[in-house]
Amino acid sequence: MNKGGLVAEVSKRTGASKADVRRALEATMAVIRESVAKGERVALVGFGTFERKHRNKRLARNPRKPHISIPVPARDVPSFNPGDEFLKLVAKRRPTAKRR
């Protein structure tokens, strides 16, 4: 599902217009992006947590030329940790056949 599909589904479930839902969704994503960029943590209970994490500098290797080291600089990256309810919903296991 892309942003257009998400807007259509939320519009259908809430009865709000697609234009209103799109504006709300874009504003929500902008707030999350700006907050995480500032180093703040955005926690949506039951859904997950967005935050900025720091990656230290390291040496990487090209699989085709493993003898050559490639320095990768330190940087900050966005991170998402799913909440418990989200994890449970996604991780539902199908019944498996019993083995004899």
- List the pLDDT tens digit at each of the 100 positions of the chain: 999 999 999 999 999 999 999 999 999 999 999 999 999 999 999 899 999 999 999 999 988 998 999 999 999 999 999 999 999 888 886 666 666 5
From 75, 77, 80, select the one nearest 90 (Cα to Cα): 80
Burial class from Cβ neighbours inside 10 Å (0-12, 13-18, 19+) for residue 75 reads exposed
Judged by DSSP in three states, 97 sits in coil
Could you report how far apart the first and last alpha carbons of the chain are, in Å?
A: 40
Give this prediction's pTM: 0.77
